[in-house]
Amino acid sequence: MHIQQTTIALFAILPLIATSQTHSKEPILHYPETRRVDQTDNYHGTNVPDPYRWLEDDVRNSTEVAEWTKAQNQVTRSYLDRIPQRKKIYDRLTELWNYERYSVPSQKAGRYFYRKNNGLQNQAVLYVADDYTASGRVLLDPNTWSEDGTISLGSTWVSEDARYLAYSRRESGSDWSTIHVVEVDSQKKLTDKLLWTRWGNLVWNADGTGFYYTRYPKPEEGQQFQSLTTNPMCYFHRLGTPQAEDQLVYRRPDQPEWSFWIQRTDDNQYLTMSIRRGTDHQNQVFVRPVDAPLDAEWTPLIDDFENEFSFFGNEGSQLFFMTDFQASTKRIVTLDANKPGRKHLAEIIPASDATLEDVTLLGGKLIVSYLQDVVSKVRVFGLDGKFQREVELPGVGSAHGFGGRQEDTETFYAFTSYATPTSIYRYDVTTGESTQIRAPQVDFKPDDYEVRQAFYHSKDGTRVPIIVAHRRGLKMDGHRPTLLYGYGGFSISLSPYFSVEYATWMEMGGVVAVPNLRGGGEYGEAWHKAGKILNKQNVFDDFIAAAEWLIAEGYTSSDGLAIRGGSNGGLLVGAVMTQRPELFGACLPAVGVMDMLRFHQFTAGHFWKAEYGSADDPEQFKALLAYSPYHNIRPGTHYPATMITTADTDDRVVPMHSFKFGAALQHAQAGPAPILLRIESRAGHGAGTPITKRIDEAADRWAFLWKNLKMSEDQ
């Protein structure tokens, strides 16, 4: 078992591009006029203006917002389409992306399920095979669900006997999904259709007649992409019955912001339920027998939110957990289902210097994945905690997978690095042998590139790792175009992985640099806590220090340095470019959280209060206001060239964040650098985005940097 882890008014649109009458031949950008309103909010005695409040309206409900986004896109397209190198970049991205890609297969009842993309298919196709070496047959092809590829296949769940497969279907990148069921052999789609689900917790019962799942109340008409997603409910659905007849298993209307995750032990003895507040991993744990009535009470094993307890398997009543209790880098323990509380905890594998990332119980062994200075290490232990062997990985990079049922003696994993395309391996749990079963054929030569890990010191002296990749032998003359990417939040670790976008950038003569900022999970929960809530400025300081290190090391200069990040990483880019605008040559904030005072009032934003804090708290408000990108834009400032990207169906980080930030930047900009908004249609936060849209956006991104970092063909 594997651990689961945004009043109609008229406004003028000026000519998109006018020819300059000055000595410069560079066209002058004219942005759409953006209405400013007299909106001021009082937070704990502090008045905070919000002149672009009207941009919070959904484009589907507001003609004014829809026209504004259309006008912004026209400016952006006119700018990008005038860059001569864009077509060449687009063509090369398309060539590189055109290779077969496979997911890590999973096995149930002798059937193997995996996803494959032939190269330029908008969506990966789900296959089923009787052998892990076989090609198998198509089970679900989401490319047939829409002409533009914007309906995607989300999570899949196979019944114990592999007779049925439940799957979630998502439209236009939304987090909302609909669950359907298909019979594996006949490919017959059942009548079952479950609405208003998100984020995919589904657990089949042992006989395959139904499953537990989580859904949310139906939102008000027209508000599904804006309103808060609260009050989740766990239900049991019996196959062949309408959703209205599903039986409620658990809900907490007194705690509308809590979320639930159910798991069933492989021996069909227990159901466990993890309850979390927000995005923090720290959780409560409840348990009950599988054969208890659906409305039966749950027994609390852990009844507070002080620590993470991630369930991954059992031996009888002994339940195995990965925990940060008295172990910042995490350890493995057991709890007895009949003896609640930490006092009955027994340690199996103690914490170490390496950060414990994941655990699977397979074939009577524990397959334990660690991060050691951001590099994967996988070790095998007995159930008694005794070390048995190291999994010999094919290189220095990232390994993930190792899923399966407790009785399985085989498992599968993927390996990748910045210069190594992802390959798939089978691991024999009994013999310890790894066998490569899928090797990609990419028009990319790993030996032509070099990857270096180094360490630098942040503002307060903290030692931070950074990985730098580029073409082998590239001369570092202090002027190399360099892309600095970061995230730094939610205990998410950035480990090395192959990217067609990075490969293209490096072919263009660019340097890729990825630091592992505080707020991530690379060094355990202490590293995470050092970059959250009142400590969030540490993340920005770490990123700024990385930029200064790249310049000091002779890789680049401020004029040649671009920064990029998405979601929480978009917040990172927005924060540092408003704090140190002179340090960067170009900025690429994507789907970022930019209004730190109002983020928790939309869709999933309330979950992030555990990470960022809330403006409702006086002390946290001061910290949020100090770095909130939208609120720290200063008129008369020379900001770097900036392209802000978002999507109209992003219902995780609603696009109002990017809209308000972009409008404020355009209003404040005193320098000549462009401030563009690129707003994708029929797309969301990123997951499920069709390949055609991904290639278009990547081509726009690299063309924007080519122009604004003044790159040339001979770099």
Residues taking part in catalysis: 567, 685
Q: Are 586 and 562 in contact (CB under 8 A)?
A: yes
Instruction: Please provide the DSSP assignment of 650-664 as one string.
Output: --SS-THHHHHHHHH
Tell me which H or E stretch contains 87.
Answer: helix 85-97
Pairing of β 641-647 and β 586-590: parallel
Tell me which amino acid residue 397 is. Answer: G
| Helix 656-668 with 568-579: angle, nearest 10 deg | 20
Measured CA to CA, the distance from residue 578 to residue 120 in angstroms comes to 38
Tell me which H or E stretch contains 382.
Answer: strand 375-382
List Cβ neighbours of 28 (8 Å cut-off, separation of 6 or more).
Answer: 17, 18, 19, 20
Angle made by CA atoms 443, 447, 451, in degrees to the nearest 5: 110
The tokens describing 326, both together, are 């008295």
Measured CA to CA, the distance from residue 485 to residue 705 in angstroms comes to 14
Q: Are 141 and 121 in contact (CB under 8 A)?
A: no
The tokens describing 528, both together, are 């995470």
Measured CA to CA, the distance from residue 216 to residue 232 in angstroms comes to 5
Measured CA to CA, the distance from residue 627 to residue 231 in angstroms comes to 31
Rounded to a whole number of angstroms, the distance between the first and last alpha carbons of the chain is 49
**Secondary structure of residue 67 in the 3-state scheme:** helix
Instruction: Give 3-state DSSP helix, strand, coil % of the chain, rounded to 5.
Output: 20, 35, 45
Closest listed residue to residue 657, CA positions, set 74, 55, 36:
55
Q: Are 649 and 172 in contact (CB under 8 A)?
A: yes
**Secondary structure of residue 536 in the 3-state scheme:** coil
Measured CA to CA, the distance from residue 114 to residue 688 in angstroms comes to 16
Instruction: Please provide the DSSP assignment of 23-72 as one string.
Output: S--SPEE-PPP------EEEETTEEEE-TTGGGGS-TTT-HHHHHHHHHH
Sheet holding 420-428, edge to edge: 398-401, 410-417, 420-428, 434-438
Is the torsion defined by CA of 76, 543, 415, 1 positive or negative? negative
| CA distance readout (Å), 646 to 126, 175, 343, 604 | 28, 15, 48, 16
Closest listed residue to residue 628, CA positions, set 568, 573, 575:
575
List Cβ neighbours of 617 (8 Å cut-off, separation of 6 or more).
Answer: none
